[in-house]
Amino acid sequence: MNIFTRIKEEQHFTEGEKVFAEYILNAPQEIIQDDIQTIAKKSFVSVSTIYRVIEKLGLSGLNQLKVQLSLQVERYPQKEVDYNK
């Protein structure tokens, strides 16, 4: 199952984790390019929340999330979302 489908189908995210999951779906290129602190700042969640989501997705860490996203991002349609509003 691809990473985007796993994120959409995960049923046990807290509210904060849902915020980060939506950020992944809407801005996968940002996840791939940025470091953990920048990702946390841009997605308005804590570093701990990011790692909890990664763990719930069955991944070993941020690097594995980035690899999964980079392998699958070309096949995933994205919508433009402005997180600064």
Listed by start position, the domains of the chain span 3-75
pLDDT of the residue at 21: 97
**Prediction pTM value:** 0.84
Q: Which long-range contacts (CB under 8 A, 24 or more apart) does 3-9 make?
A: 3/57, 3/65, 3/68, 3/69, 3/72, 4/28, 4/72, 4/76, 6/57, 6/58, 7/57
pLDDT of the residue at 75: 76
pLDDT of the residue at 73: 87
CATH of domain 3-75: 1.10.10.10
